[in-house]
A and B are shown apart, each in its own frame.
Chain A
Amino acid sequence: MHIVVCVKQVPDTKIIKINPKTNTLDRKSAPAILNPYDAHAVQEAVKVKQLTGGTISVLSMGPPQATEVIKKSIEIGADRGYLISDRAFAGADTLATSYALSKALERIGKDIPVDMVICGKHAIDGDTGQVGPGIARRMDIPPVTSVIEVSEVNVKEKTILIKRKLTSGYELIQAELPCLLTVEKEINEIEYAPMPNMIRAARYQPIIWTVNELENVDRAQLGLKGSPTVVGKMFTPPRPEGGKKLEGSADEQVKQLMDLLMDKKDLLTVQSTN
């Protein structure tokens, strides 16, 4: 079983500031972290490997500093890490990114064939969720999005049983391997990594490839050149207004709250989505 997890280095959007003039993220204002969804993707690969054995590789595209997120992935339990880093990749949108990553996956697959690709649901700096499915399409394997549980992996039959999150409830599906999963956060809890992983990560030097080390690459599909996305407009959503702070003793506050709720009964009725 060879699982490849695609990971991205992102600014921590919990603390990031937005440039009020350009409405773009001020990336210097926040530390770079492993995209939280991708951490869950790596953790899920570790869980699957515990059942099936095999190898976990992580793959990232980004500047040289992105080796940090590969090291972080090694801490969680990945075995090896690849970074594709080259000016030719810079400025890529989701189309160009998925192209570059699929080319790297092709190269990785030459050493050990890839049985499963796992991505996070989306990156917290772009929130598009398109790169995962884009890779699947290019590799011509089934994409399974919004995964909340990998219920069963059958190595012999090359099948996998998966729970997908729906707006109400979930769906249980079987897919053939190789396939690509994008995972939700609730799929697992990130475990506190054991010391040997930490030491391995501290020592680990990821494999770094430039565009020249990938094969059969159409350079027109890379980076800014290969990115047809046009940003029409950007704005900072207004802060939600209203809200009211209840004051007084606990008893008074409870009473005020009950009155408010009883006033707006319709909020409390269960809505059916069907």
Chain B
Amino acid sequence: MPEKFDVIVVGAGPAGTACALVCAQQGLNVMLIERGEYPGSKNVMGGVLYRKQLEDLIPDFWKEAPLERPIIEQRFWMMDKESVVSFGYKGLEWGVEPYNNFTVLRAQFDQWFAKKAVEAGALLVNETVVKECIVENGKVVGVRTDRPDGDLYADVVVLADGVNSLLGKQLGFHKEHRPDEVALTAMEVINLPKEKINDRFNLEDNQGCTIEIFGDSTQGNLGTAFLYTNKDSLNIGVGTTLSSMIKAKLKPYDLLDYLKNHPMVSPLLAGGESAEYLAHLIPEGGFRSVPKVVGDGVVVVGDAASLVNAIHREGSNMAMASGKMAAEAIVKAKTRNDFSASGLNSYREALYNSFIMKDLEKYKDAAHTFEKYPQYFKEYVPMMNKAASKFFTVDGTPKREKQKQIMKSVTAERGTIRVLQDMYRAWKAVK
């Protein structure tokens, strides 16, 4: 007789582990299934872990979690071929408890996080692929794994299988992602001695810095690049929507190479040793791409439900928060012994009332706008660079005259009306 659990969670990423942890803490019998050799072995993230949502699960986690550096500085670069316009914020208050956010390496972080769920009582089985959900009379009752005697049953199955959730597709919750709903990102971990990192980024040992890079980092396509500092390595990556890549006939690794050799970037990496190369999709479709998240005997969390805020590069925190909300709904359903879609619906309600769906709603037109009107990345970033160069070059021209020239060159390139339209459209997309 195959075992029956209260909950089976598929996928030990931030979403699945958070859900398993809370369910186990509440005394449920939880099975967490991961296809990797260990949790995190194949998982990819630029590396910014936000404090709040993890702190809600594990207070004071920074005292024991394998974190790289607390981030005390966030920079934003508008990059052209041989220049950048940059702004940012550095604050020492982010360098002391309770911190703001951290860089992490997922292979280590996910393993530690899953261990917390195991300590709370969840059972973790690695190296096992869930092939499909077992559905009886329209209700999900368990999962079929690729192992011999591999069927397992549960009151609720949690789909935390990440972007491109095959199980969500099997259940008909969503279709194959359209190329404009996902970003394809390639990244590399580059080993560099701690002292070099501290010097180059103006940091102390326990301080980190993030740089988000727009414009020429994606050769003007819709996407971003990032460069983050770990203890003794750097994470550098770049991605664009899959549709932009197809249109511009780009390959993710070519883009990454281009970025690494960019004159604004390469001095920061010089002498580093490439340790790891990774590529991964990010579900960036936003509000409109969020599928059905509750069914009879099943809930969907994290990337599997497209819960990513691409503009603020928030994903892992939404994954954790959604996992926790799902767990709370499952605990509630258990007290009433009703695991139907309506019995589990408090998850959907919580999700839609939380920052997650509110933020996704706010930006629901952003990706679409920027994809449809490529001038933001292709034209305005170089224009900004030119303007800054002109403004800050001391050549005897009066400043007011310079401002006039700059405005003129901007409107000359795009026309006054179109500039105003562009501004309005961008503001509407992110307001």
Contacts and interface: CB of A to CB of B under 8 A. Distances in A.
Interface of A: 31, 192-196, 198-199, 202-203
B149 interface: yes
Chain A interface, DSSP helix/strand/loop, else mixed: helix
Interface residues of B, number: 16
B122 to A, nearest CB: 9
B123 interface: yes
B148 A192 contact: yes
Interface core residue of A193, A196, A198, A199 (most chain B CB under 10 Å)? A198
Nearest to B2: A195
B147 A193 contact: yes
B374 interface: no
Interface of B: 2-3, 31, 38, 123-125, 128, 145-152
Given A199-B123, A199-B125, A202-B124, A194 B150 contact: yes
Nearest to A31: B38
Contacts of B151: 195
A202 B147 contact: no
Nearest to A202: B123
Contacts of A195: 2, 125, 128, 145, 147-152
List of 10 A-B pairs having minimum Cβ-Cβ separation, nearest first: A194-B148, A202-B123, A195-B147, A195-B150, A194-B149, A198-B125, A195-B149, A202-B125, A196-B149, A194-B147
Contacts of B149: 194-196
Given A198-B147, A199-B123, 4 more contacts: A192-B147, A192-B148, A195-B145, A199-B3
Contacts of B150: 194-195
A67 to B, nearest CB: 12
Contacts of A198: 125, 128, 147
Contacts of A192: 146-148
Nearest to A193: B147
Contacts of B148: 192-195
Contacts of A194: 147-150
Contacts of B152: 195
Contacts of A202: 123-125
A194 B127 CA distance: 12
A70 to B, nearest CB: 15
A40 to B, nearest CB: 18
A194 B147 CA distance: 5
A203 B123 contact: yes
A145 to B, nearest CB: 31
Interface core residue of A192, A193, A195, A202 (most chain B CB under 10 Å)? A195
Nearest to B37: A31
Contacts of B128: 195, 198
